[in-house]
């Protein structure tokens, strides 16, 4: 098949990852966020049920992370990556079949499992390809797909609402979109070559982190996961409940995605100047402000600032952590990625279920927002401590600053 336009191998690989993010994260995961208030209006779905469905999504993600971390064969990882693309499509279609909590629960779990394909398996496969081809091991373009996926989901729901699609028709619309996204996500990521005996001698070897580094990073990343998931799951519902902001929910979510898409590449640049840990601490500090702003003000300006701060930081945190994993384990990035994602995912199971129950009991999301902001602030403090006391952290920061800019 002729190429529709010329692309270097590097950009084809990175764009394959971006399309996998659009499919597995933007559609299979994030379509649920702007559709949640629609489903609540048109079905029996309440706050607590909505929170449990989100929690099950992250339970599926954790299972995917466990499996990704346990697989050592790069070719098996590639096969599982392609399976997750198909599962993302199937779970999206499944949401449209019937309004049953248990069916939705299964579909959200499967969607969560599929999202591990884009976040972990694709990340590891792309890093492996970049490193083996002596390319800069940065994932900014790949992770821009998360922000673009959020933007895509929000705009798609807004368009389908204007076309008077009900919740079921909207899920079918997302299914059609998923089919289109699956093709480049599958075709543009090359299957890994079989390892050649004696090859790869020039590749960087694994530099396992210290126990202090892993303990503090796991705790800090748990805190980051708690803060991320509240706004990611409930931001549209939070905005739509404010009488003065009704109708602005999808546009707010779109702004989150718009801020997130270029931010990952910006945080790569910040890391070169201040080191990985310095950039990560800065991102989490700004994220605290973005999370708690909707609890402090119901003005449109406050909500929009919150969206930009949240969107511009949460994905940077993920990209920076997974890039650090790639530097510590260049030949098997998923080894650390899986452990970090388990910490991140554990928070994402607890947080939405707890927040949904708190919202149903109180009638608002303020308590959940303050709790999320507190967790992220604690995570930033843990990273400051880590940066001061651990040699692995200091080495990573030095490597980031010394990396060539070409």
Residue pair 217/340 in contact (Cβ under 8 Å)? The answer is: yes
- Per-residue pLDDT band for 199 (boundaries 50, 70, 90) equals very low
CATH of the domain at 38: 1.20.1250.20
Residue pair 90/36 in contact (Cβ under 8 Å)? The answer is: no
Say if 266 falls within a structural domain: yes
**What token pair was written down for 360?**
């149903």
- Per-residue pLDDT band for 380 (boundaries 50, 70, 90) equals very high
77: CB partners within 8 A, 6+ apart: 68, 71, 121, 124, 125, 192, 334
Say if 4 falls within a structural domain: no
Distance between CA atoms of 111 and 329, rounded to whole angstroms?
A: 28
Say if 196 falls within a structural domain: no
* Least confident range of 119-128, 203-212, 275-284: 203-212
> Does residue 195 surpass a pLDDT of 60?
no
> Does residue 143 surpass a pLDDT of 90?
no
> Does residue 68 surpass a pLDDT of 50?
yes
* Least confident range of 54-63, 195-204, 262-271: 195-204
Say if 261 falls within a structural domain: yes
Residue with tokens 């590449």: 265
Say if 2 falls within a structural domain: no
Task: Calculate the CA 88 to chain-centre distance.
Answer: 15
Q: What is the pLDDT of residue 182?
A: 96
Who wins on pLDDT, 182 or 195? 182
Say if 299 falls within a structural domain: yes
The model's pLDDT over 342-363, given as tens digits with 9 standing for 90+, comes to 788 788 778 887 888 888 887 7
Name the domain count of the chain.
1
Give whole-number Cα distances, 368 to 128, 130, 211, 230, in Å. Answer: 39, 40, 32, 7
**What token pair was written down for 245?**
């902001």
Say if 195 falls within a structural domain: no
Say if 198 falls within a structural domain: no
Distance between CA atoms of 171 and 97, rounded to whole angstroms?
A: 9
Q: What is the pLDDT of residue 2?
A: 43
Who wins on pLDDT, 376 or 405? 376
pTM: 0.77
49: CB partners within 8 A, 6+ apart: 101, 356
What is the extent of the structural domain holding 65? 9-190+207-402
H/E run at residue 341:
helix 334-362
What backbone torsions phi and psi does residue 206 show, to the nearest 5 degrees?
Answer: -65, 140
**What token pair was written down for 350?**
């607890």
202: CB partners within 8 A, 6+ apart: none
Residue pair 276/397 in contact (Cβ under 8 Å)? The answer is: yes
CA neighbor of 84 nearest in space, from 11, 23, 13: 23
Distance between CA atoms of 124 and 322, rounded to whole angstroms?
A: 9
> Does residue 204 surpass a pLDDT of 70?
no
């Amino acid at each position: 098949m002729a190429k529709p336009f010329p692309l270097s191998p590097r950009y084809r690989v990175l764009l394959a990852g971006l399309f996998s993010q659009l499919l597995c994260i933007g559609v299979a995961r994030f379509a649920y966020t702007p559709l949640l208030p629609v489903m609540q209006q048109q079905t029996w779905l309440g706050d607590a049920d909505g929170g449990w469905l989100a929690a099950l999504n992250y339970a599926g993600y954790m299972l995917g992370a466990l499996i990704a971390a346990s697989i050592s064969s790069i070719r098996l990882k590639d096969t599982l990556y392609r399976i997750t693309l198909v599962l993302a499509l199937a779970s999206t279609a499944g949401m449209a079949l019937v309004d049953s909590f248990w069916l939705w629960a299964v579909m959200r779990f499967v969607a969560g499992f599929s999202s591990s394909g884009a976040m972990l398996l694709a990340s590891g496969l792309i890093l492996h390809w970049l490193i083996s081809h002596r390319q800069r091991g940065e994932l900014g373009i790949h992770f821009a797909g998360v922000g673009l996926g959020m933007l895509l989901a929000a705009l798609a729901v807004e368009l389908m609402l204007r076309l008077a699609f009900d919740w079921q028709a909207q899920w079918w619309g997302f299914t059609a979109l998923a089919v289109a996204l699956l093709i480049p996500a599958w075709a543009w990521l090359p299957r890994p070559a079989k390892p050649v005996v004696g090859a790869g001698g020039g590749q960087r070897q694994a530099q396992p982190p210290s126990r202090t580094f892993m303990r503090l990073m796991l705790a800090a990343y748990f805190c980051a996961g708690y803060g991320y998931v509240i706004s990611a799951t409930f931001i549209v519902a939070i905005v739509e409940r404010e009488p003065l902001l009704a109708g602005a929910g999808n546009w707010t979510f779109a702004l989150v995605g718009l801020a997130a898409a270029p931010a990952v590449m910006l945080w790569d640049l910040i890391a070169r100047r201040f080191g990985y840990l310095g950039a990560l601490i800065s991102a989490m500090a700004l994220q605290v402000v973005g999370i708690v702003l909707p609890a402090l003000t119901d003005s449109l300006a406050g909500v929009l600032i919150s969206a930009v701060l949240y969107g511009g930081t949460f994905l940077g945190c993920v990209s920076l952590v997974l890039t650090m994993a790639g530097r510590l384990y260049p030949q098997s990035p998923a080894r650390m990625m899986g452990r970090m994602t388990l910490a991140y995912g554990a928070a994402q199971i607890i947080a939405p279920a707890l927040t949904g129950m708190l919202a149903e009991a109180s009638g608002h999301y303020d308590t959940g927002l303050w709790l999320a902001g507190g967790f992220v602030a604690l995570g930033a403090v843990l990273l400051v401590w880590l940066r001061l006391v651990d040699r692995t952290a200091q080495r990573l920061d030095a490597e980031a600053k010394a990396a060539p800019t070409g």
